[in-house]
Amino acid sequence: MKHDLIILGGGPAGLAAAITAYDAGLRDILIVERDKELGGILNQCIHSGFGLHTFKEELTGPEYAARFIAGVKERKIPYVLNTMALHVSPEKEVTLMNRTDGVQTVKAEAIVLAMGCRERSRGALNIPGYRPAGIYSAGTAQRLVNIEGFMPGREVVILGSGDIGLIMARRMTLEGAKVKVVAELMPYSGGLKRNIVQCLDDFGIPLKLSHTVVDIRGQKRVEGVTIAAVDEHNKPIPGTEEEYDCDTLLLSCGLIPENELSREMGVSINPVTSGPVVNESLETSVPGVFAAGNVLHVHDLVDFVSEEAGAAGRAAAEYVLAGSVDAERNEIPVKFEGGVRYTVPAKIDPKFVKEAITIRFRVGAVMKNRIVSVWMDGEQVSKKRRQIMAPGEMEEVKLTREQFDAHPDLKELLIRVEEV
């Protein structure tokens, strides 16, 4: 069996990529989703705050997903559920497995990677103490409360201030639990400022920065945790320990893009993002394989996931409709300095930029009163002032076709962050 385009993942990225690929003229598309329904993680995100950029209105996660699911169904784009992708070869042969068809191999002209991300587990955090019941990732707790109707606990400590952890602090409180503290290892929150205000400040939940869990008490069930302040090397400071009695510990300590399949097929991975290295078309190092959404780099807003995935879907369609011909490329790496951690895309061939291109990036620390400027061959082509930038919030710059045309022999592209 063969398809023009296979999209791995039926969450917000996969759905958006499928719709835009279809609208760009591609008809032979297959979406592969391992869960029992489309929508991905949005199905358990019953809070509002989605869609402000995409639809200019505030939606819940399921409402946002429903609009894209409806778009897929209106176009009659095929999809399979409860289906795992076990392997993807460099030749774009995808091995799938489900209960109905067993194991089968499907060939694709192009692939969009949209597998999303997973939470960092306790095992990756090296927290000392026993292994009792009552320790959950924040996302698991969210699913238990919002979909399964099960309360994980009543007295809660949260480690990590990622957006899911902040949102679950509010959610658990609304369900009657007592959230005693949110401890964050870094000297800044990993979540959006609005979530700190709406989920912690509005409910009187303390946020302790530069703190971590150093011990977990209890053998059968969590009975309490010890948190302590950390120094500049993230090492606990003796004498700063604080005891909290609790029956539940939620972990919200970062997200990891799901790229095991990508690595197997030989896709180059950025060590900073743990996602694929992509060019201006969001194409990976394997021709005809594109990536978008949280599998590429962890986003703060789903609206940006959809926008990015739309670009990947269009590029995949163009690749297939052009007959998979690889044109000669002259890729310029996107350089950065002044605290920028990475950029997506990581490299650009100017001749493939259409009307404009968005370059997204994150900074490595909280910064105030900065200028973000873009330089082409030593000439400043754009700048904007930012009152505050933080690692938890995505930044972006947009470059136009006209700016590239003004530098026909472009050799260097630089994004610089500097003090005002």
**What is the model's pTM?**
0.94
Give the model's pLDDT for residue 326.
Answer: 60
pLDDT at residue 129, as a whole number? 77
Query: In the predicted model, what is the mean pLDDT of the chain?
Result: 95
**pLDDT at residue 305 above 60?**
yes
Q: How confident is the model at residue 33 (pLDDT cuts 50, 70, 90)?
A: very high
**Residue 139: per-residue pLDDT:** 95
32-41, 77-86, 113-122, 229-238: which range is least confident on average?
Answer: 113-122
CA distance 13 to 291: 9
The residue behind tokens 């996931």 is 305
- Read off the tokens for 119: 């939470």
Both tokens of 377, joined, read 């061959």
Question: pLDDT value at position 124?
Answer: 67
For residue 67, what pLDDT is reported?
A: 98
pLDDT digits (tens, 9 = 90+) for 390-415: 998 999 999 999 999 999 999 999 99
What pLDDT shows up at residue 344? 97
Q: What are the tens digits of pLDDT across the range 151-183?
A: 999 999 999 999 999 999 999 999 999 999 999
What confidence score (pLDDT) does residue 31 get?
98
Residue 58: the pLDDT is 94
> Does residue 130 surpass a pLDDT of 80?
no
pLDDT at 122: 73
Q: Tell me what pLDDT residue 201 has.
A: 97
Query: For residues 299 and 394, is the Cβ–Cβ distance under 8 A?
Result: yes
248-285 confidence digits (pLDDT tens): 999 999 899 999 999 999 999 999 999 999 999 999 99
Segment 350-363 shows an average pLDDT of: 94
pLDDT value, residue 420: 87
Q: How confident is the model at residue 327 (pLDDT cuts 50, 70, 90)?
A: low
Identify the pLDDT of residue 240: 97
**DSSP states of 78-101:** -EESS-EEEEE-TT-EEEEEETTT
Helices assigned H by DSSP within 1-121: 12-23, 61-74
- Yes or no: say if 32 and 85 are a contact pair by the CB < 8 Å rule: yes
pLDDT of 198 > 90? The answer is: yes
Residue 128: per-residue pLDDT: 78
* Full DSSP string of 135-159: EEEHHHHHHIIIII-----SEEEEE
- pLDDT of 102 over the 70 cut: yes
Q: What is the mean pLDDT of residues 323-332?
A: 76
Q: Is the pLDDT of residue 120 over 90?
A: no
Whether the per-residue pLDDT at 324 is higher than 70: the answer is no
Two structure tokens written together for 366: 């909280």
Alpha helices in 196-349, H assignment, sequence order: 260-264, 302-321
Q: Which residues pair with 6 in a beta bridge?
A: 30, 111
